[in-house]
Structure 1
Amino acid sequence: MPTVKLLKIAHGRSGDKGNASNVGIIARHPDIYPFLEKNLTAKRVKDHMKHICKGKVERYELPNIGALNFLLHESLGGGGTVSLKLDAQGKTHASTLLRMDLDVPEELLELVK
């Protein structure tokens, strides 16, 4: 099974919710969503984003649009109006998560060629 970046099978958007970063990951093909649902867990996201996220990670499933939404608590240094971070709104957090390595079955990779 090839190891690829999450970016190969999904795209993402992110922004702020107070001191939490809101990261949406959307499957590039409907048949990829079940794989993401099984493999892109809150724990795995927390492990990948531990240098950014100091709190818990919550995951919400949006199967009707083939997406997962993650709230990364305590990741913005207090929030946009008080944070001294360069990215106080978490706009780069989706990009960071999309660089996660995943072992992806060949048949799913064929869907996004």
Structure 2
Amino acid sequence: MKLYQIAHSRTGDKGNISTISVIAYSKEDYPCLCEQLTEDKVLAWFTKIGATRVKRYEVPSLGALNFVLENTLGGGVTRSLALDKHGKSLSGLMLEMDLN
């Protein structure tokens, strides 16, 4: 199943760092997010666009995970020529991840 089937996402960006929050539609799916969306898995998913580090923060009261991804914006939004690498587009890429 794809991540978008059980969660939605919000993003932000600052410099060359992107933040991606993944929020479960149902609180019952939050444990699945915690199990499936590890820092290593998210880093592997975003390495192809330059990510070098991922830090995950858990927000159980919201049924959400927040990821801080370094070096994902092609040098930063104002420096990048790749419009599709801005934070908002990365949420769509995240939601395409496969879950077991």
Partner of 2:54: 57
Partner of 1:83: 80
Partner of 1:68: 65
Which residue, out of 4, 9, 13, partners 1:7?
4
RMSD of aligned Cα (Å)? 1.3
Cα distance in 2, alignment partners of residues 89 and 54 from structure 1: 13
How many percent of aligned residue pairs carry the same amino acid? 47
The one-letter amino acid of 1:82's match is: R
Aligned residue pairs total: 100
Preserved CA contact (<8 Å) 1:46 1:53: no
Q: Structure 2 length normalisation: TM-score?
A: 0.91
User: How many Å apart are 1:53 and its aligned residue?
Assistant: 3.5
Cα distance in 2, alignment partners of residues 98 and 88 from structure 1: 15
1:29 aligned onto 2:61 = no
Using a 3 Å threshold, how does the CA distance of structure 1 residues 63 and 53 change in structure 2: closer, same or farther? farther
Q: Which is helix-richer, 1 or 2?
A: 2
Q: Structure 1 length normalisation: TM-score?
A: 0.82
